[in-house]
Amino acid sequence: MIEINNTTKVKIPALKLRRIIEKFILAYKLKDFSVSVAIIGDSKMRELNYTYRGYDKPTDVLSFTELNEIIIDIQVIKRQAKELSKSWESELIFILVHGLLHLIGYDDNTESKRLKMIAWGEDFLRLL
């Protein structure tokens, strides 16, 4: 089951996100995989990031493997997209894939692992 919940007023490409998740599931041969994606804003993300990671600031994505849940801050996504000179939708998709990689066990707790995760995400997106 794929669930996408948008708690913001920003219109997101939910169908496109669902299709990307479906392709990810097929590409990684995941059986009985379900995921819930929540799109939230800065204030809620700041609260969650502080509660679960001890950082008193918003972040782009939090992944909870035990719940198969990805939480994305659309305001951070829009700021990052602007900094990277790309569309916020493409940044949203990239961060969604990054969150999915976390759910299946990939980690980015070191710089080398972070760079590998970025490369894996980009490789997957090239397949679309």
Residues of each annotated binding site: 98, 102, 108
Residue 62 near residue 76 (C-beta atoms within 8 A):
no
Residue 72 near residue 37 (C-beta atoms within 8 A):
yes
Residue 101 near residue 119 (C-beta atoms within 8 A):
no
d(C-alpha 78, C-alpha 60), whole Å: 10
d(C-alpha 48, C-alpha 43), whole Å: 9
DSSP 86: S
- Residue at 92: amino acid letter: L
d(C-alpha 19, C-alpha 30), whole Å: 15
What are the tokens at 7? 């708690």
Q: Which residues are annotated as a binding site for Zn(2+)?
A: 98, 102, 108
